[in-house]
Structure 1
Amino acid sequence: MTFEVLRDDDPRCAVLEAAGYRIVGESWAARLRDPDPAKLEAAVLRAEGVTVGELGPEYADAWHALETANEKDYPYTPATHRVVQPVEELAALWTTGRVFGALDGERLVGATYITLQGETGFTSVLDGYRGRGIGQAVKAASILALLDAGVRVFGTGGAALNDASLGANLAFGYVIEERWRSYAPPDDAKA
């Protein structure tokens, strides 16, 4: 099935809806400008029972295992659908960004990837560790590191139905600048 993905302020949304297209997903994009380091540092310290820090490429296999375990939990929309990359592709991300993680002993239980320009690619926390501030902690650590490198504007986004992600980002001061709608064709167009 072919989906149409449009910003919610695009006049074509009304045209699609009048033609019987259905909204099958919504997503958002947000920016954080000149974040408060104290708020970020507090988020890192709040993470319960884990050690938070930057990870090197030697964690590629552990990161792949974390992402594979979490794949079924990623919210699906046509605009935000995520398929776990092979371990070699994950390892290659260290050339374009940085990875921060949360370790429970030797076990990687949370991770985030951020580009050198400050765009978060994704953040994930292993089931059973969610709700303990770990996602916020790894994301905060990544932002702090890029602040030290001179980055002042950060970007992120996600599926609108992922309330935890949205709430964590808003708590840091991210402001939603774009909302997107994913449309499926009318039911009679499926054939």
Structure 2
Amino acid sequence: MTSPRILPADHPDVPALTAAGWRVVQESWAAQAEATDEARRRWEEAAAVVKELGAFRPLTVDDVPAALALDAATAGDYPGGPATAHAPMTAESARPTDVRHAFGLFAADGALTALTYLDVEGPVAEVDFTVVRADLRGHGLGTALKAASMLALAFPASPDAGPSPAVTVFRTGGAAENAAILRTVERLGFVVDERWLTLAAPIGDPG
């Protein structure tokens, strides 16, 4: 069976493939936000409800079991296809490091209710994924958590509290059908700068 092809929406091969019977089965996007003063105000506004939603803090190695449990419980909740598939974390990939930062929201009983992981290279942070416990969705936890994590990396409370250098650019992405994440990135000031298509081979193509 021929594997799907994932191409930029404006790739020159797209017209020829669709003419040959390849079908667009998913649309996805990538977006960027810069850590400007205006963005800071926007993120602070979005993160202001964090205290009402739970206790926000960076994850540590002690939180890895809880992070793995939440990741496993929500593994089937990601919309989209191959371009936006979420690979389940391992004990190694769940471990926060100097270049892989993780943040979480914790309920009053100490339960981890939402988490986000970001991979940092120099001044650029790529949001790996953000997830909220299924029974708590629809209350703004994901948006507040993402905003608070961006503030922590771009505008740390002290020089020792964040990465060096501080993050100045954030990137993220997702499936076009995921309306929730699109609302979040719009509120946080991300600008979509890439659009991607996942194309499936013609039916009956043996590969």
TM-score range, shorter chain: over 0.9
Matches within 5 A, 1:111-150: 111-116=115-120, 117-148=124-155, 149=163, 150=166
- 1:139-190: per-residue Cα shift (whole Å, max 9, x none)? 1111111212522111000111111011101111100000100011000204
Aligned residue among 185, 192, 195 for 1:179: 195
CA contact (8 A) 2:105 2:145 kept: yes
Residue identity (%): 36
**Counterpart residue identity of residue 152, structure 2:** A
| Aligned counterpart, 1:166 | 182
**Counterpart residue identity of residue 25, structure 2:** V
Instruction: Spell out structure 1 runs of 4+ moving beyond 3 A.
Output: none
SS of corresponding position for 2:84: coil
TM-score normalised by structure 2 residue count: 0.86
Larger helix percent: 1
CA contact (8 A) 2:53 2:141 kept: no
**Counterpart residue identity of residue 94, structure 1:** T
Distance 1:79 1:66 in 2: 22
TM-score normalised by structure 1 residue count: 0.93
Which segment drifts farther, 2-11 or 148-157?
148-157
Does 2:59 correspond to 1:58?
Answer: no
Q: Which runs of 5+ in 2 are unaligned?
A: 156-162
Distance 1:83 1:151 in 2: 25
- 1:17-66: per-residue Cα shift (whole Å, max 9, x none)? 00000111111000002342222122222244311221112111101111
> 1:87 Cα shift?
2.3
| Aligned counterpart, 1:5 | 6
Distance 1:51 1:32 in 2: 25
Distance 1:80 1:34 in 2: 25
The alignment yields a C-alpha RMSD, in angstroms, of 1.5
Q: Which runs of 5+ in 1 are unaligned?
A: none
Aligned residue among 38, 44, 48 for 2:47: 44
Aligned residue among 80, 86, 90 for 1:82: 86
